Amino acid sequence: MNDDAGPGPGTDGGWEVVVIGAGPAGYAAAIRAAQLGMRTACIDKSLDREGNPTLGGTCLNWGCIPSKALLDVSHKYAEAAGHFGELGIGVGDLSIDVPGMMARKDAVVTRLTGGVGALFQGNGVTALAGSGRLLGNRRVEFTPHDGEATVLEAEHVILAPGSVPIDIDQAPLVPGTVVDSTGALEFDAVPGRLGVIGAGAIGLELGSVWSRLGSEAVILEALDEFLPMADQRIARDALRAFKRQGLDIRLGCRVMRAEPSGDGVTVTYQDASDEHVVEFDRLIVAVGRRPYTEGLLAPDSGVNLDERGFLYVNDLCATDAPEVYAVGDVVRGPMLAHKGAEEGVMVAERIAGHKPLVNYDCVPNVIYTHPEIAWVGRTEQSLKADGENYRTGTFSFGANGRALAANDAEGIVKIVADAETDRVLGVHVFGPQASELIAQAVIAMEFDASAEDLGLTMFAHPTLAEAVHEAALGVGGRAIHMVNRKRA
């Protein structure tokens, strides 16, 4: 551990590693670099609502963590309102305290962002509050929030500025009425009628939060296909489940304009049949995120952008500028906190002379609806499109004892394996605790396990994980707790 935080900012040098951005990618890189004995500074410009510097980036402050806090509360509320009676539990008059829910969310955020600060201090990382700009020759211009710009000399620079929500001209933001994913985490009351533009992970999660609490939620998706990046069977089952829950998901809908109207917003959209006009109390724009590079690069930085606006890097996250790296949402690949964190650690270790790699074939994806959706690796449709020879095994949570006992038995596990080698190529879960179950699949795939390997592994009973075991057995037609399909 490096307990020496090093010199303060200035042109006198002394920094072995300077990181720009303190989200999961940046703070993981900074902490690991310091653990490896390198004098490390991490610059971040984020401020909380009181105007105080905050660490953790979008994930901890305005994304992953606060949204999951609201999802958890709203799920418990929906369970109490709609399902506790089935379990013999009476709850009487049920109500939701939105300010109390938001206060709890904020408390979780404060604890975790403060935790990053404690980790910086404990590992000897110097946190610098302000903006960072990469100049030529690994020099970084640091401008504090309340001071003059200085230049840091670094042996290595890691760029991790993160991403921001995409704005669309058809629906300009109006504070409190037309909001992005950040604004959707700050409603002070449950909207009566809620519109969401975008049926991706963010739109589905935010729509679920407020729908569970009583909003009439309509999700408008421009694509004709629901969750095209997920396995088609999983996507089809999920769409049916979400519609039963009350989410009005409309596919093939292109939003033409959104205009404030009284205390709400009027949205005009076009589908295959006609033009439609709908009224909402609140509208969430959740059409994705883009890399945040504004003000990041000086003309002589030597770092280039690709055609989509991401920082160009090779497989080891090195940019075109010597000893300058980029990680996280600002580079190619899925915008996922865990992917960025692994890249940050990899870069720090490679700077120190180690040779780790990130296995991009084993990046898990999760959508935190209920039931949850999670997957890793190839989908059946991608294998079919490539002409690959594969086999599949599926198992329903409806036949899983733990899921039935918990009154949470909707969904399936699906495993895709190579027909010749039996190597697991992809695992797809729609069901309870899918976000936890997918880790087993990631471990298996990381070690090149076969479906038979998973089938020969002993799983505890009764557990939800037994569904993974049975699906693996099903690949070879050997499932015990379901009737196997006949194979040629």
Question: Any idea which residues carry the catalytic annotation?
Answer: 461
Chain CA centroid to CA 384, Å: 27
Which of 91, 107, 87 lies closest to 99, judged by CA?
Answer: 107
**Partners of 54 in the β-ladder:** none
Q: What angle do CA 152, 61, 97 make, to 5 degrees?
A: 160
Burial of residue 427, with CB atoms counted within 10 A of its CB: 0-12 exposed, 13-18 middle, 19 or more buried: buried
Q: What single string gives the DSSP state of each residue in 168-210? A: -TTS--BTTTEE-TTGGG--SS--SEEEEE--SHHHHHHHHHH
Neighbours of 48 (CB within 10 A): 14
Please enumerate in sequence order all residues whose Cβ is within 8 A of that of 152, keeping only pairs 6 or more positions apart, or say none.
9, 10, 13, 15, 18, 41, 139, 140, 141, 142
On the question of a cis peptide bond just before residue 172, with omega within 30 degrees of 0, the verdict is no
The CB-side HSE value for 24 (13 A sphere, CA atoms) comes to: 20
Strand segments (E) across 200-333: 216-220, 248-250, 254-261, 264-270, 275-280, 282-285, 289-291, 324-326
Gap between the Cα atoms of 58 and 66, Å rounded? 10
Gap between the Cα atoms of 475 and 458, Å rounded? 17
As given in the structure block, the two tokens for residue 482 are 């379901």
Please enumerate in sequence order all residues whose Cβ is within 8 A of that of 456, keeping only pairs 6 or more positions apart, or say none.
none
Name residue 41's amino acid.
A
Which of 459, 305, 302 lies closest to 395, judged by CA?
Answer: 459
